[in-house]
Amino acid sequence: MLIICASKHSNLANKLILAARFFVWGKRHSIKVCNPSFTPHAKYYANWASQSGTRKIILELILRVHRNAPIYLAQFFHHLATLLAKSGLNNRFFAAVDIGWQTTCNLEDPHFEELANTTFFLFLTGWNFIQEIDYEKYRNEIEKRFEPIPNHTERAKALIKKAKGEDPCRIIIGLHVRQGDYKSFQDGKYYFNTEQYVRAIRTILAGFKDQTTCVVVCSNEKQSPEDFSGFDCIISEEEAGCDLVTLSLCDYILGPPSTFSHWASFIGKVPRAELTDPFEPPRIDSFVVATL
């Protein structure tokens, strides 16, 4: 039996969360899970291809064909899964489940478990595949499986060290400024301009009046240091994979509803709060560590 994850969503954090969920599910049920949808991001995670020499060789061959080959491979499996789901094909050899963006599929549902255990190749595509379990029991395995490459870890640690300065007790608050695609995502519901983010973070900083702080800004749009004046701040200019590591090394994370800061909170065990209204920022006591 083989589960083939072929979700379309290209966002790195979405893929990380799904990959972690299926990784744990496969271990719990002793079923092999193949995840071609994560292949474009595998190069950023040191142990992703290390479980099997064969998988490592295949990944290296794919990368040698063309630099975009992992993306093409992920797209191929997504289209195949969608086609199989639309055809209604469901037999002992092939089956497909396409839940799209809105529908939820509980991986612990008896009907799903039966399908997974009676189909040789089960293709899955969609976003909200869930399982209501205690992921903390599998934290060590998840952290090992999704260990960032040394280059990202070293650069992120250097940025945090710079933010700490001469004060090792300084509180580092990661501010995830999600703009860009959020102008259109859910009709711009969680798109905030830089001024609104600054207003929100100033309110948060006021709660640490007896401690030294530094804000580390990670954004998918270029930010100007002049917009973050009046408090200690460092703006990351790293790529997304490195920014995820940076946020996971902070003491707190503030950002809009996003799987990006969600993953950073979970993997780094960092208290996080969602910014849903820049005029009413969350309180310090509302920051909690995210779960998968």
Q: Average pLDDT for residues 269-289, to the nearest whole number?
A: 94
Run of H or E residues at 27: helix 12-29
Is residue 6 within 8 A of residue 77, CB to CB? The reply is yes
Query: Which residues are 171's β-sheet partners?
Result: 213
What's the pLDDT at 20?
95
Tokens of 180: 């860009």
Question: 20 φ, ψ to 5°?
Answer: -65, -40
What's the pLDDT at 209?
84
Q: Note the pLDDT tens digit of each residue in 133-158.
A: 999 999 999 999 999 999 999 999 99
Across the chain, what does the average pLDDT equal?
Answer: 90
Is residue 242 within 8 A of residue 259, CB to CB? The reply is no
Q: Average pLDDT for residues 123-134, to the nearest whole number?
A: 92
Q: Give me the sheet containing 171-177, strands edge to edge.
A: 233-235, 213-219, 171-177, 252-255, 271-274, 288-289
Report the candidate in 174, 72, 81 with the shortest Cα–Cα distance to residue 122. Answer: 81
Is residue 240 within 8 A of residue 264, CB to CB? The reply is no
What's the pLDDT at 67?
61
Is residue 98 within 8 A of residue 126, CB to CB? The reply is yes
Q: Note the pLDDT tens digit of each residue in 94-117.
A: 999 999 888 999 999 999 999 999
Tokens of 287: 């920051």
* Angle of CA points 259, 263, 268, to nearest 5°: 155
Tokens of 18: 């799904």
Residue 253 has pLDDT above 80, yes or no: yes
Q: Average pLDDT for residues 122-126, to the nearest whole number?
A: 93
State how far the Cα of 191 lies from the Cα of 188, in Å rounded to an integer: 5
Domains belonging to the chain, first-starting first, are: 2-140 (no CATH), 150-289 (3.40.50.11350)
Residue 127 has pLDDT above 70, yes or no: yes
**What percentage of the chain has pLDDT greater than the value 70?**
92
Query: Which residues are 106's β-sheet partners?
Result: 130
Q: Note the pLDDT tens digit of each residue in 16-75.
A: 999 999 999 999 999 999 888 888 888 899 887 554 544 554 555 555 555 667 777 788
What's the pLDDT at 41?
87
State how far the Cα of 213 lies from the Cα of 215, in Å rounded to an integer: 7
Among the ranges given (57-66, 116-125, 281-290), the one the predictor scored with the smallest mean pLDDT: 57-66
Q: Note the pLDDT tens digit of each residue in 204-238.
A: 999 998 899 999 999 999 999 999 999 999 999 99
State how far the Cα of 216 lies from the Cα of 237, in Å rounded to an integer: 11
Q: 74: left (phi > 0), else alpha (psi -120 to 50), else beta?
A: alpha
Q: Note the pLDDT tens digit of each residue in 153-208.
A: 999 999 999 999 999 999 999 999 999 999 898 888 999 999 999 999 999 999 99
Among the ranges given (2-6, 24-28, 210-214, 258-262), the one the predictor scored with the smallest mean pLDDT: 2-6
